[in-house]
Amino acid sequence: MKKSEPVERGLSRIQALGEIQGVLKDLNRLEKRLKQAPLWRPGTALIRECREASRLIAGLKARFEQKLVVTLIGPSGSGKSTLFNALAGVDDLSKTGSKRPTTEKIVLLSQKDSDITDILGTLETAPAEIHHRPECDLLRHMVLIDTPDTDSTHLVNHRRCLHQVLALSDVLICLFDAQNPKRRDHVDFLSPHVRRFEGASLIVVLNKCDRLDEEELGNTIVPEFTGYLEACWGKPAEALFCISARNHLKDPRWDATALPRHGFDQFDGLKKTLQQAFAKAGARFDRRLKNARALWEAVSSRARREALKDRKPLIQALDQIQNLEKRAAEKAVTTLQSDRTRLPFSVPARIYQELAQRWTGPVGWLIAVWARFLMVGSGIRNLFRLPGSVRHLKERARAFHPSNPTGPGAAMTGKGPGAAALFAYRFELVRHWGDMAAALVKGRFDPWVWKVDTLLQQRAALEDYFSFLWDSALETEIQRTCNRLSGVFLQLLFNLPGLGILGYAAWVTVNDFIRGRILPFDFFLHALFAVGVILLLSFFAYQALVRFAATKHRLEARALETARRMAAAEGRLQESPLVDQITAVLSLTDPSGIPHETATKGPRPLPFSGASPKE
């Protein structure tokens, strides 16, 4: 069953409103993405464009129920007012003549007063002349506006008025004089405004075509002018009409010496386009939705073009950051390796504490006792350590000693492996910072990036990170070592002698008890000594194995290798705000990186991976 016109119009309205809201959200997300890169200089202008586009789209949404606004715009002498009068069917509705400018104020034409009430409220203080033509069928779905000239001596006064009208327009008719269509000033003036129009919303008209040779007009002027507009505006003219507006006045007032040279005229086609394209149900909603999409495409395309200009130097800077991170992390780990005082005396106690949790059997009991003894011994040793201030002085003196491989840098940056590693890390960054900063400046980042602190995190955070790096690596190696030293085979091997003696003594005792024989006390005494000796020998042998497998140098080397892998995988520089800004800009070079409600779902490749696209 065919839907009625009101129902179809209502459905079109709901759908268009939903899509326009989606475009507004897209612009908001794009603005947030640009704000993530405050040091990228083109981002400031792009953020302003996002806000202006959002303002214009919000205006479209606010006047959704109003009739379409069709605006005529053109340079002085192009016949703009004449075309306005011809479309209205009244010769002198908009002022015409040879005096420049011919149009000094906005001229609005509608069927009734209510059609332009909201428009007048939006135009603020712009001078306006109002006309109503209830009998004009063309105005049933639209309001027609004639604008002041774009290139007259009064342009400064007209500019604000023109911008207000263009912000309200749904359809733009750009009028040019066919005798001189390439009016550079007019084309350039309209360039930022035509980006918000799409398809039939942007109509180009060549007027005074009757003054030119018909063959030259069709074969030369129109093709050349179409290409010229496409080059200047970045989009082709979707609809172009060649007309003679004066020929459609009731009284053309032809000069007897300048009569039309031919009858080629597309005025009826222009009028039919306006009548048919915008008369169907929901046309006003479709047109405003298309204009909203065109605004989004204009802003997002410009953001991508600007990002593509800087893609190559920014990828280079990102690669340099990654390489610099590896070198700086390697220096920091090397500094940890050169610090011979970093293994604390409590590490053996920590190892035996972990072993005690893993071992069972007689040897496991001895390991647990030994672990508790080491913990008590550590506490006693802490009790008799030097006061903190005296120990600090000794550490500073040792730092400046020629034999100390870490040098005075550790003393200057504080105490402990974290401070020394931070000094080495920062020193490596400073050495190689220039090349990376030059690439960023070439990628139009603010010269502030020459300051190395823009990449570094806070010193305390980095120092804590390096301290944590070593502690974590050491703990990882302790766990791995204890796991290797607590295997099932080792536990059976070292527990078996003690269990064998215990089992033998138990078998003899039970066997003689069953036979009614009482064993002498010396038997039990000797058995106890034999079991103790075997267990102690097994425990001592196991201690030798622990000493061999978990020596200071072995544990240190493995912990440092783990720290090196962790530092390389962690990438502290790649977590910095500057790297986030570079990534945010590079994400704009990929269409899938620009947020859009209708974008295809699925995994997205890194925007800086692979070869550069052809620009």
- Residue 606, CA atoms < 13 Å, CB-side half-sphere: 8
User: Which pLDDT belongs to residue 461?
Assistant: 58
- Find the mean pLDDT for residues 545-571: 75
512 within a domain of the structure (yes/no):
no
Residues 538, 526: Cα–Cα separation, whole Å: 18
Do 222 and 104 belong to one domain? yes
Do 265 and 121 belong to one domain? yes
Query: Tell me: the pLDDT tens digits for 70-95?
Result: 899 888 788 888 999 898 888 888 77
Among candidate residues 256, 278, 300, the one where a domain is terminated: 278
Q: CB–CB of 11/23 below 8 Å?
A: no
Do 264 and 152 belong to one domain? yes
pLDDT classification of 156: cutoffs 50, 70, 90: low
11-15, 474-478, 499-503: least confidently modelled range: 11-15
Question: At 219, which amino acid appears?
Answer: N
Do 176 and 236 belong to one domain? yes
First to last CA, the chain: 50
Query: Tell me: the pLDDT tens digits for 498-511?
Result: 888 888 888 988 88
Three-class DSSP labels, 555-593: HHHHHHHHHHHHHHHHCCHHHCHHHHHHHHHHHCCCHHH
Mapped onto helix, strand or coil, the DSSP state of residue 433 is: helix
- Find the mean pLDDT for residues 424-449: 80
pLDDT classification of 241: cutoffs 50, 70, 90: very high
Residues 586, 445: Cα–Cα separation, whole Å: 13
389 within a domain of the structure (yes/no):
yes
- Residue 326, CA atoms < 13 Å, CB-side half-sphere: 5
Do 351 and 236 belong to one domain? no
Do 342 and 263 belong to one domain? no
Highest mean pLDDT among 27-31, 402-406, 563-567: 27-31
Query: Hey, CA dihedral for 196, 198, 200, 205, is it positive or negative?
Result: positive
User: Has residue 476 got a pLDDT over 80?
Assistant: yes
User: Has residue 374 got a pLDDT over 70?
Assistant: yes
1 within a domain of the structure (yes/no):
no
Per-residue DSSP letter, 70: E
User: Which pLDDT belongs to residue 309?
Assistant: 93
Highest mean pLDDT among 102-111, 185-194, 447-456: 102-111
User: Which pLDDT belongs to residue 458?
Assistant: 53
Residues 534, 543: Cα–Cα separation, whole Å: 14
Among residues of the chain, what percentage have pLDDT more than 90?
12
pLDDT classification of 393: cutoffs 50, 70, 90: very low
Mapped onto helix, strand or coil, the DSSP state of residue 169 is: coil
Residues 14, 199: Cα–Cα separation, whole Å: 22
Average pLDDT, the chain: 77
Show the DSSP H helices in 72-176 as ranges.
80-88, 117-122, 155-168
Do 357 and 218 belong to one domain? no
Among residues of the chain, what percentage have pLDDT more than 70?
74
Among candidate residues 236, 258, 278, the one where a domain is terminated: 278
Do 237 and 92 belong to one domain? yes
User: Has residue 389 got a pLDDT over 50?
Assistant: no
Provide φ and ψ at 381, rounded to 5°: -65, -40
CATH classification of the domain holding 204? 3.40.50.300
Lateral strand order in the sheet of 128-132: 128-132, 106-110, 142-146, 68-73, 171-177, 202-207, 239-242
75-79, 331-335, 381-385, 534-538: least confidently modelled range: 381-385
Do 150 and 222 belong to one domain? yes
Q: Which two tokens stand for residue 28?
A: 């908001």
Highest mean pLDDT among 42-51, 437-446, 526-535: 42-51
247 within a domain of the structure (yes/no):
yes
User: Has residue 392 got a pLDDT over 60?
Assistant: no
Do 266 and 323 belong to one domain? no
User: Has residue 609 got a pLDDT over 60?
Assistant: no
77 within a domain of the structure (yes/no):
yes
Do 335 and 271 belong to one domain? no
Per-residue DSSP letter, 153: T
Overall pTM surpassing 0.75 (yes/no): no
117 within a domain of the structure (yes/no):
yes
Query: Tell me: the pLDDT tens digits for 24-33?
Result: 999 999 999 9
Among candidate residues 233, 259, 278, the one where a domain is terminated: 278
424 Cα distance to chain centroid: 32
User: Who has greater pLDDT, 228 or 552?
Assistant: 228
CA dihedral in degrees (363, 364, 367, 371; nearest 10)? -170
Instruction: Please tell me the total count of domains within the chain.
Output: 2
User: Which pLDDT belongs to residue 20?
Assistant: 87
Residues 542, 252: Cα–Cα separation, whole Å: 116
Domain residue limits at 447: 311-485+550-575
User: Which pLDDT belongs to residue 594?
Assistant: 64
Do 216 and 267 belong to one domain? yes
User: Which pLDDT belongs to residue 101?
Assistant: 52
Residues 443, 437: Cα–Cα separation, whole Å: 10
User: Has residue 222 got a pLDDT over 60?
Assistant: yes
- Find the mean pLDDT for residues 142-160: 72
**Cβ neighbours of residue 259 closer than 8 Å, sequence gap 6 or more:** none
56-60, 374-378, 391-395: least confidently modelled range: 391-395
User: Who has greater pLDDT, 582 or 194?
Assistant: 582
Rg of the Cα atoms in the chain: 43
Q: CB–CB of 594/300 below 8 Å?
A: yes
35 within a domain of the structure (yes/no):
no
